[in-house]
Chains A and B, each alone.
Chain A
Amino acid sequence: MIKRLLWRIKASMGIYETRPGEICGLLAEYPHPGALLKAAQAVHASGYRHFDTHSPFPIHGMDKAMGLGQSKVGYITLGGGLAGLALATWLQWWTSAVDYPINISGKPFFAIEPSIPIMFELTVLLSALAAVTGMLLLNGLPRPYNPLFYSSEFQRVTDDAFFLHIAASDPSFDQEGTELMLRELGALNVEAIHDHGYSELHSATS
């Protein structure tokens, strides 16, 4: 049950488990963002779920094409912001009105008005930290090793190449059939990705 849940969470981050000795997935290159968008739409319509597109920049409309919903980063950020506001309020009230009250020109020990700047600053600080931490968590980053790094073609993904990767863990995956579909969608080439582990990649590149 927990294993199953973990598997699903990892898949949402784009981390797909592979059985040893089997291929990891198929990586298809498409000529431009338009072709990639159409391919992603078709792949999603054929029932695939464990797939992802890789591009040098975000492509407008790709979330919808892949059938992904709204990002949940917003809720995490809101949580961080509320925590920051609560922390700042508590900190200023407790230190100056409870733990060590000092009378300064007869001003109240605690009041909202002079507390606003710190409340604002800590709200922003904790929201920003929560946003970035939440983004990394939802994305499963940092992830220093990725079997996709075995593909030398894939190095152009951060430059000018557009890829679609279907993982072998998808129930609809069938190496020959999936490859044929990817080619029919206009792939320039299709490559099988193998997962030989980190140490192999390390020795291959050094």
Chain B
Amino acid sequence: MTTVTDKSVTLPVGDEPPLVTGNLGFHDITQLVSYHTEKRPPSAWYMAFAVSSTLLAVLLVLIAYLFWNGIGVWGNNNPVGWGWPIVNFVFWVGIGHAGTLISAILFLFRQRWRTAINRSAEAMTLFAVICALLFPTIHVGRVWVIYWTLPLPNQMEMWPQFKSPLLWDVFAVSVYFTVSLIFWYVGLVPDVATLRDRARSIWRRRIMGFLSLGWTGANRHWRNYEKTYLLLAALATPLVLSVHSVVSFDFAISIIPGWHTTIFPPYFVAGAIFSGFAMVMTLLIIARRVYNIQNIITMNHLEKMAIIILVTGTMVGFAYITEFFIAWYSQVEYEQYAFLNRATGPYAWAYWTMMSCNLLFPQFFWIKRLRRSIPFLFVTSIIVNIGMWFERFVITVISLHRDFLPSSWDYFNPTIVDVLTLAGSFGLFLTLFLLFLRFLPMVAMAEVKVVLPESDPHFYDKEDHD
């Protein structure tokens, strides 16, 4: 091929630095990304898989133990009826926001750098939402009647209570999962067709052929495909903003001091984007190195993510301070006590962990040198997710542990089952993510090819005039 992969001519596109570095052509991108699904995975993959599948096994055993004994095995008790399971649910739903934000909102804003990270971020979203859906499901107690949350005709002739935010949550999270899955799969079709056409063995060709639906890259197909992708992005944009808003209604529509605030929906959404980007960063810093795709997921991509973390982290910190202001300004005694108790009460350690991880640490990203330092980015991305887990702990547990009736006040302690279930949910998440890295292209090849200057048909007009 002496055609497009031969890059003797390179043209700058505007003032933007090239999105793909290292002078890669179309075939190089195909090769670089597909290759990892075709060869034996590196030994680091096997080690990671051994650890994550062990944690997954722990999760499965604990779920069986829970179903047999009931939710008394957790630390949940009066007055803290929503303990770690709900903290973990909100934590995982939050992480599951970055993927669809990157694929939908950044698509509508024509942020072309998203193409390098959208596939893996969407996969991460799906797996995080699976972890999130797990927690309320096992938290209901009688899991065998979980179908009562759906409007299915039953022998009691009863229907779900549509005025309840908990039911809205069932719809919001499951619709979010379904739409994210569809969006991810539609994006995968052309890339799975690439794997089909590269397949050596008949079974690999058949499986990839089945999944790629007979895709031939026909322009008649691309025409409808691109329109569909645009529409899905337009639909997923309000959806991604609505999911965590609806999750926040679970709290905000109650009358518990510390929960009953109108700031919750935007504040939860900002926090979700914040933690989601941090998780994408943690995973991609490892994956880009192990899979040697630093030319596709470049330093500039990581820096852009760091800026988003800085912006959303500052928004979240602003919301923390606003809550205090409103508690004072409202002159409501209970509200004021709830917030003073957060900062100075028995859980002050959790509150100040949250404040320092979420408000303080991301501020270092004002410094360009730190935004471009891989070790610093990696450590900060983990600190941010610790902080965001504590945010949900602060909201859920601190608000509940001292309610309106001082005689029922209590200090919440998790059990070992709580702790191991959280660890096990990381096992589920990482196992799914590792399987994704093993079997599917982790970068959207067709989309990355479009951001190369050679994909523009008029690139060649200039060549003719030279």
A residues contacting B by CB (< 8 A) are: 12-14, 31-37, 40, 52-63, 66, 68, 71-74, 77, 91-92, 95-96, 99-100, 102, 104, 107, 114-115, 117-118, 120-122, 124-125, 127-129, 131-132, 134-136, 138-139, 141-146, 148, 154-160, 188, 205-206
Contact = CB atoms under 8 A, between A and B. Distances in A.
A68 B223 CA distance: 9
Interface in B417-455: 445-447, 449-450, 454-455
Contact of A141 (B1, B214, B222): B214
Q: Chain B interface: which size bin?
A: 35 or more
Interface in B184-224: 186, 190, 193-194, 196-198, 202, 205, 209-210, 213-224
Contacts of A77: 228, 231, 235
Contacts of B171: 117-118, 121-122
- For the complex of A and B, list the 3 residue pairs with the smallest distance between their C-beta atoms, beginning with the closest: A34-B460, A143-B214, A160-B26
* Consensus secondary structure, chain A interface: helix
A146 B216 contact: yes
Interface string B104-142: 000000000000000000000000000000000000000
A37 to B, nearest CB: 4
B223 A145 contact: no
A33 B1 contact: no
Contacts, number: 228
A69 to B, nearest CB: 9
* Consensus secondary structure, chain B interface: helix
A32 B179 contact: no
A172 B457 CA distance: 27
A205 B225 contact: no
A55 B457 contact: no
Contacts of A62: 219, 222, 457
A159 B30 contact: yes
B172 interface: yes
A203 to B, nearest CB: 11
Counting chain B CB atoms within 10 Å of each CB, which of A124, A136, A142 scores highest?
Answer: A124
Contacts of B205: 205
Contacts of A135: 186, 224-225, 227-228
21 contacts: A12-B220, A32-B3, A34-B461, A36-B457, A40-B219, A53-B219, A57-B446, A58-B219, A62-B222, A62-B457, A71-B223, A74-B227, A95-B162, A124-B239, A125-B175, A125-B179, A128-B179, A128-B232, A145-B214, A160-B4, A188-B3
Interface stretch (B77-85, B86-94, B153-161, B292-300): B153-161
Contacts of A57: 190, 217, 222, 446-447, 449-450, 455
A127 B198 contact: no
Nearest to A95: B159
Contacts of B216: 14, 54, 146, 148, 154, 157
B380 to A, nearest CB: 34
Given A33-B460, A61-B457, A127-B231, 13 more contacts: A13-B220, A34-B459, A34-B460, A68-B220, A73-B227, A120-B242, A121-B175, A124-B239, A128-B236, A138-B224, A145-B214, A158-B194, A206-B202
